[in-house]
Amino acid sequence: MMRIGPLEVERRPDPPVTWVLGVSLLAILAAMAASGVIFWSHGVAPLRAYGVIIRGTLFNVRALPEVVRFAIPLLLAGVGLVLAFRALFWNIGAEGQILAGATAATWVALFSPVPDPLKLPAMFLAGFLGGAAWGFLPALLKLRLAVNEVISTLMMNYIALYLVSWLVHGPWKGPQMRGFAFTDEFPPAAQIPLLAGTRIHWVTLLLGILLAGAVAFMLARTRLGFEIRVQGESLDAARYAGIDPTRTTLLVMLFGGGAAGLAGVGEVGGIHHRLLDPNQISLGLGYAAIIVAWLARGSPLAAVLTALFLGVVFTSGDVMKVALQMPARVTDVFNGLILFWLIGSERALYYRVRWVPRREAPAPLPVPDAGAGSGGPGDGE
């Protein structure tokens, strides 16, 4: 506890849910207020801009499916990041893991001898394994060589980006594309079915929801979940309890990377039906998934809601481009501001300030005279 004048700052070990929600909401509102400066610099009144965005996304029947479409990869990658963050592994590599999953799925779709009835299951399996492999290497580097995972996972993103770029410009470039850096289109058996009239690939959406529920159950009800939670609280306590951090970290990153890889499968198999330039596949979804996980505050089920919120943010890019004549990439600035304020508000979650004015000390009691009122044996004689 620390005292500053009449204020006491004390640690709050277990903040209530209402406080967590309130702090997160204030962080989002602060990001919106800061983003208003960008609208103002383009000559657009911030309140008008937000009004147009809300009407164009939440109250537009055509836009709502796009919100869900963007939420699907954000949910898959976000659940994987929630798990990694709970184990204190700071995975910044979901972007590369999405691309790795997309690449593995493309190989199955275009170049593997897998029969048509098994194409889609094989694509999802290959995508999971591709993303898991991309997450496994940074985990191994940290555990064996003490390489910082923030740096290694971030660098793996660029390796995946240039690998995909080389493939679509080189050996996998489709002869039917006539100069475009694409692969050939996936055969019908390798295309994920969509909900009619939308771009919602419902198989991947169902996988994301099931995955969020399964991870929530695993964290709450299984031995592995207990080990992850203990490791997230204290690595020393985990070792004292006989938990092997090496095993836990590797399992977490295999699963988290695999979940992001499934998001990549959904993008190439459900939206594009081919492998494209990496910036057209991911659109920064892996980095936005960090915000999904951070807003979820360690809850896989909450990631469903935060993924939908970020889906609104991504969809608003098209609204700003058409209705406000602003660059769609302004959404990247907004995402960055949300993350900035969320991290900045982290201290407010675990500390509280109390007004405790100093009270004047009571006056000391008078000390009686040692000789007063004490009679000796000879008194009164």
Find, among 182, 164, 196, the residue nearest to 273 by Cα.
Answer: 182
Residues 134 and 278 in one domain: yes
**3-state secondary structure at position 353:** strand
DSSP character string of 104-136: HHHHHHHH----GGGHHHHHHHHHHHHHHHHHH
The angle at the Cα of 265, spanning 177 to 215, to the nearest 5 degrees, equals 170
Domain region containing 340: 1-44+326-357
Instruction: Evaluate whether residue 365 is within a structural domain.
Output: no
- Tally of structural domains, the chain: 2
Q: Identity (one letter) of the amino acid at 315?
A: T
Per-residue pLDDT of the chain in tens (381 residues, 90 and over written 9): 676 777 777 777 778 888 888 988 999 999 999 999 988 988 889 999 999 999 999 999 989 999 999 999 999 999 999 999 999 999 999 999 999 999 999 999 999 999 999 999 999 999 999 999 999 999 999 999 999 999 999 999 999 999 999 999 999 998 876 777 899 999 999 999 999 999 999 999 999 999 999 999 999 999 999 999 999 988 888 989 899 999 999 999 999 999 999 999 999 999 999 999 998 898 899 999 999 999 999 999 999 999 999 999 999 988 888 888 888 778 888 888 888 998 888 878 877 777 777 665 566 667 666 555 555 555 544
Length of the chain: 381
Q: Identity (one letter) of the amino acid at 68?
A: V
Residues 65 and 37 in one domain: no
Residues 7 and 83 in one domain: no
Residues 80 and 188 in one domain: yes
Instruction: Evaluate whether residue 321 is within a structural domain.
Output: no
CATH number at residue 84: 1.10.3470
151 vs 148: CA distance, rounded Å: 6
Place of tokens 């938990």: 243
**3-state secondary structure at position 200:** coil
Instruction: Evaluate whether residue 379 is within a structural domain.
Output: no
- Report CA dihedral (229, 338, 160, 188) to the nearest 10 degrees: 90
Helix axis angle for 119-145 and 94-111, nearest 10°, is: 140
Instruction: Evaluate whether residue 178 is within a structural domain.
Output: yes
